[in-house]
C-alpha cells in the first residue's frame, strides 16, 4: 500500500514537471522588467551585478571578475528576443564596460568574460569593434596554454603549492577560441583547444562519466593531484562542474564533428539524468552527493541549455534530452526558482550556489544562472520555430 502511494506520488510529480508549459514571450517580458530595475540600480559601469550578500544587499564585482561578461550577455539575449533598441543600447554599454579585459593574461575565464557579451553582440550586430576586442582577448587567453602540459592553465596557484591547476570549468572557454580560430584563420587556436579537451577527457573524467573539479599538473603534464575547490569532496560530482563539462563537450562536437566528443557528452548527460539524487524537477543539488541540501539553479540552467543543443544531434536519447531540458527550464520559470518582480536584487532566478565550501554565495541569485536560463529559453524557441520537437 505504502509502495503504491509512493509510486503514485512519484508519477504525479514527474507528470507535473513534464507538463510545464513554457511561455518564452512571457518569460522574456518578465526578464525585461526585472532587468529594467537592475539597470536603474546600476548606474556605475564598473560595478557588475553578481549576486546578493548575506545582509541582503547586492553583490557587485569589477570587470576582472570571471562573471563580468554575463550581464552584458543577458542584455543581448533580451535584445535578441525583444528587438527593442533600448536593450541594444544597454547591452552595448555593459559589453564595452569589459573592454579592458582583452589584455588580461592572468585568467582563463576570458571565454566567459568576453565571448558572452562581445560574442553575442557581434553575432547580432556585426560590430567590428567587438570582433577586434575578441581577437585580442583570444590571443591573451592562448598565452595560458603551455604545449609541454597540453592544457590551458586555469589558476596561477592552488592550495598545496600546485602551480598548474586546470578546472573542468575551463572547457567553457574553448567555444571562444574556436570562434577566434575561424575568424582569424589562426589554426593554433583550434589545435590547442582540441589538445586541451583531449587531455581533460584523460584526466578529469571518471569511469562513471562524472568529473573531478581540479587537476593539478606538473611541468611536463604529469598529474600531481585530483582535487576539488567548490565541490563537496575531491571524488564527488560538484553539480556546476558537471554542467560545464556537458556543455563544453557538446561545443567540442559542434566545432569539430568528432564523434568521440558527442559520445562523451551523451554519457555525461546520461550520468546526470539517471543520477538517483537528481530531484523530480531536475534542478540539481549543489553537489550530486548532497541530496537534501541547497539546489543550484545555475547548474540546472547550464544543463538545460546544453541538453537542448544535445537533442539536436539525434541518437536514441535525443527526445529525453529535449524533454528533460524543457523540464528544467519549466521548473526554473516558476517558484521557488523564479523571483517575484522587483525582488531578488533584480535577478531573475533565485537558489543558486557559488562556492559552498568557501562559505560564499550559498542559496543566492547568480548572474550566470540568469544568463544560461535566457540562453536556454532562446534555444527552446528556436527549436520550436524549426518544429524540431519530439
**For ligand GLY, what does the binding mask look like between residues 130 and 169, x meaning CB under 6 A?**
---------------------------------------x
Measured from the CB atom, the residue of 226 and 260 that comes closer to ligand GLY is 226
In the complex with ligand GLY, which residue's Cβ is closer, 83 or 157?
Answer: 157
CB 280 within 8 A of CB 14: yes
Handedness of CA 334, 332, 19, 237 (dihedral sign): negative
Residues in the chain: 390
Coil, strand or helix at 188: helix
Which of 60, 109, 281, 324 is catalytic? The answer is 109
Whole-angstrom distance, CA of residue 74 vs CA of residue 352: 17
Confirm if 182 and 234 have CB atoms less than 8 A apart: no
Among 193, 230, 327, 345, binds ligand GLY (CB under 6 A): 230
Contact 138, 187 (CB under 8 A): no
DSSP H or E segment with residue 364: strand 360-364
Active-site residue flag, 109: yes
Catalytic residue (choose from 44, 55, 146, 169): 169
Minimum CB separation from ligand GLY for residue 35, in Å? 22
The Cβ of residue 338 has, within 10 Å, a number of other Cβ atoms equal to: 21
Does the annotation count 169 as an active-site position? Answer: yes
Binding mask 325-354 for ligand GLY (x = CB under 6 A): -----------------------------x
Where do we find the cell 560545464?
244
Select 122 or 155, whichever has its Cβ closest to ligand GLY. Answer: 155
- DSSP-assigned letters across all residues of 21-42: PP-HHHHHHHHHHHHHHHHHT-
Q: What are phi and psi of 43, to 5 degrees?
A: -75, -20
Question: Is 370 near ligand GLY (CB under 6 A)?
Answer: no
Give the distance between the most distant pair of CA atoms in the chain: 67
Q: In terms of CB distance, is 210 or 230 closer to ligand GLY?
A: 230
Which helix or strand (DSSP H or E) is residue 13 part of?
helix 2-18
In the complex, minimum distance from the CB of residue 240 to ligand GLY, in angstroms, rounded to a whole number: 5
Nearer to ligand GLY, 92 or 204 (CB): 204
**Which residues, 52 to 111, sit near ligand GLY by CB under 6 A?**
none
Instruction: Write down the least CB distance from residue 6 to ligand GLY, Å.
Output: 35
* Residue 169: CB minimum distance to ligand GLY, A: 4
Min CB(354)–ligand GLY separation in Å:
6
CB-nearer residue toward ligand GLY: 50 or 327 = 50
Instruction: Report residue 325 as a C-alpha cell.
Output: 531540458
The sign one gets for the Cα dihedral 66, 311, 378, 24 is negative
Q: Which residues contact 83 (CB under 8 A, 6 or more apart)?
A: none
Q: Which three cell numbers stand for residue 39?
A: 539597470
Specify the residue, 169 or 287, whose C-beta has the smaller distance to ligand GLY: 169
Closest CA to 355 of 136, 50, 91, 117: 50
Least CB distance to ligand GLY at residue 361 (A) = 9
Under rule CB under 6 A, residue 240 binds ligand GLY = yes
Smallest separation (angstroms) from ligand GLY to the CB of 109 = 7
End-to-end CA distance of the chain: 35
Residues in the site for ligand GLY, rule: CB under 6 A? 169, 230, 240, 354
Active site residues: 109, 169
Amino acid at each position: 500500500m505504502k509502495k503504491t502511494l509512493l509510486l503514485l506520488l512519484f508519477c504525479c510529480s514527474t507528470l507535473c514537471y513534464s507538463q510545464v508549459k513554457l511561455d518564452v514571450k512571457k518569460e522574456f517580458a518578465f526578464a525585461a522588467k526585472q532587468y529594467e530595475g537592475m539597470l536603474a540600480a546600476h548606474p556605475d559601469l564598473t560595478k557588475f551585478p553578481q549576486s546578493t550578500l548575506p545582509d541582503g544587499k547586492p553583490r557587485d564585482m569589477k570587470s576582472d571578475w570571471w562573471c563580468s561578461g554575463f550581464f552584458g550577455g543577458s542584455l543581448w539575449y533580451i535584445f535578441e528576443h525583444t528587438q527593442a533598441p533600448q536593450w541594444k543600447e544597454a547591452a552595448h554599454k555593459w559589453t564595452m564596460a569589459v573592454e579592458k579585459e582583452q589584455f588580461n593574461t592572468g585568467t582563463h575565464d576570458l571565454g566567459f568574460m568576453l565571448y558572452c557579451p562581445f560574442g553575442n553582440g557581434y553575432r547580432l550586430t556585426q560590430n567590428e569593434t567587438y570582433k577586434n576586442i575578441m581577437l585580442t582577448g583570444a590571443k591573451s587567453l592562448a598565452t595560458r596554454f603551455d604545449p609541454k602540459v597540453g592544457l590551458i592553465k586555469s589558476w596561477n596557484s592552488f592550495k598545496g603549492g600546485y602551480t598548474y591547476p586546470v578546472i573542468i570549468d575551463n572547457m567553457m572557454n574553448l567555444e571562444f577560441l574556436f570562434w577566434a580560430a575561424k575568424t582569424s584563420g589562426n589554426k593554433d587556436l583550434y589545435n590547442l583547444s582540441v589538445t586541451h579537451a583531449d587531455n581533460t577527457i584523460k584526466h578529469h573524467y571518471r569511469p562513471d562519466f562524472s568529473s573531478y573539479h581540479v587537476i593539478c599538473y606538473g611541468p611536463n603534464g604529469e598529474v600531481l593531484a585530483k582535487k576539488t575547490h567548490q565541490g563537496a569532496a575531491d571524488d564527488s560530482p560538484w553539480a556546476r562542474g558537471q554542467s560545464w563539462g556537458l556543455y563544453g563537450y557538446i561545443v567540442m562536437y559542434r566545432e569539430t564533428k568528432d564523434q568521440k566528443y558527442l559520445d562523451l557528452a551523451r554519457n555525461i548527460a546520461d550520468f546526470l539524468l539517471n543520477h538517483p539524487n537528481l530531484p523530480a524537477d531536475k534542478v540539481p543539488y549543489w553537489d550530486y552527493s548532497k541530496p537534501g541540501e541547497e539546489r543550484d539553479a545555475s547548474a540546472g540552467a547550464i544543463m538545460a541549455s546544453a541538453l537542448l543543443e544535445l537533442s539536436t544531434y539525434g541518437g536514441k536519447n535525443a527526445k529525453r534530452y529535449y524533454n528533460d531540458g524543457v523540464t528544467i527550464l519549466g521548473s526554473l520559470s516558476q517558484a521557488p526558482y523564479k523571483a517575484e518582480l522587483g525582488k531578488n536584487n533584480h535577478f531573475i532566478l533565485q537558489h543558486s550556489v557559488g562556492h559552498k565550501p568557501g562559505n560564499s554565495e550559498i542559496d543566492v541569485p547568480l548572474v550566470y544562472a540568469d544568463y544560461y536560463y535566457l540562453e536556454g529559453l532562446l534555444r527552446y524557441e528556436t527549436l520550436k520555430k524549426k518544429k524540431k520537437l519530439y
